Amino acid sequence: MKTPRKIAISIFVAAAMVGGTDLALAGGQSNPRALAMGGAYTALAYGLEAGAYNPANLGLSFNKSFTLDFVSVGVDLKNNSFSLDDYNSYTGQFLTDADKQAILDKIPGEGLKLDVFAEAAGMNFSVWRLAFNVRGVGYSSAKIDKDPFELLLFGNGIKPDVSLSDTRGEAEAVGDASVSYGHPLMKWQDGQLAVGATYHYLYGIAYEKVIQAEGGVFTTDTGYVGNGSVTVRSALGGSGSAVDLGAAMIFAKNLVFSASWQNFYSKINWTKDTEESQFSFEMQPVTFEAMSDDEINDSLVENSDTTYDIEAFSTTLPSSIRLGLARIGKRTTWSFDWSQATSSRNGLSTNPRVAAGLEYRPISLFPLRIGAATGGNRGMMFSGGLGIYLGPMHFDFAVANHGSFMPSSTKGATFAFSTGLRF
């Protein structure tokens, strides 16, 4: 006969394997403790924080009886090519051919990618095994072909043809109101098992996406010729829902193993002001003679734009899985996370990402934190932060650099702050 502990482990592993093929855009970017620990927070999120990482943690004995956040904010800015050092080195300088090539080499073959993410929440709280969270999330991502940069730096002698077909962009703003519950399943001498779920009501504020881009500019013997078009889909209102599932286990008294399947189900129906806009241009042969002729010059490039209403459409949030392991100590706490998404939308990648974090309390009211993560589409991230705990009152701060430990060499930065109560 299997012991309760063996049964618990079997259930936990089965839950993790079922969810192991997919996982989701979760949130939590406004959580400074999580950010400072590299995002390795799946096994450490208790109270109201569990809703963004794993609702099952609400059913464990480590859970807080009451938590309240007055305000929490987080902003994430990054690109895949240039650092602050690069900006300072080349801005306002005369560029040699070697400088131009160095700049161009920093842009990957896929093109320049720019990502911005912001999250804000206020007056979120948890009581007993329930957590209630309201947050606003805004995200924007753009990818620009490498060809235009090569033309800009070296001219058409080096880059005679410029393609715009791989240009992409997406932006979304969503309000999220959620309720989470964690339920203890079983206990044994030095451990316990819990499961949980989160239901999200999603209010779509705005959505815009480049769904098609094609064309380019091409060099002829005497000048230029080209054409192209871009189709953008947009909406200014909608609603939907999402569901997260999780399982969590304590063993050896202070070790926590936690797994969540975020956005197990998700759907947003965009129903208000749904439109598609098409922008196009047609470039007649552009030669020196044509540009010199005032009558011809005005008609060398013809452009048009058309906007038309479309039927309501729906989008989903990418599903992803998180696995976390943590040891919770009186002075020192460490954690590890593994995460993977099923699609490369909303800043997530189908490549696995691993993270590690450490928190040390030289005195109880002043925790210090560091963390690191790598993988996914974000590369290396180094983070740090601290908290100030005055009884139940807390103030937490964190900052992270992308691509380098040194701020001047980072290709992006993330900032987070929160204040609230913990009991």
pLDDT in tens, 253-272: 899 999 999 999 999 999 99
pLDDT in tens, 165-222: 777 889 999 999 999 999 999 999 989 999 999 999 999 999 999 998 887 777 666 5
- Which pLDDT value is given to residue 234? 96
- Which pLDDT value is given to residue 302? 77
Name the pLDDT band for 157 (thresholds 50, 70, 90): low
Name the pLDDT band for 299 (thresholds 50, 70, 90): low
- Which pLDDT value is given to residue 153? 79
pLDDT in tens, 286-296: 554 555 555 55
Question: Residues 15, 17, 22, 26: is their CA dihedral positive or negative?
Answer: positive
Q: Is the pLDDT reported for residue 16 higher than 90?
A: no
Just give the CATH number of 4-422.
2.40.160
* For residues 351-366, average pLDDT: 95
8 Å CB contact between 60 and 256: yes
Name the pLDDT band for 128 (thresholds 50, 70, 90): very high
Name the pLDDT band for 310 (thresholds 50, 70, 90): very high
Name the pLDDT band for 420 (thresholds 50, 70, 90): very high
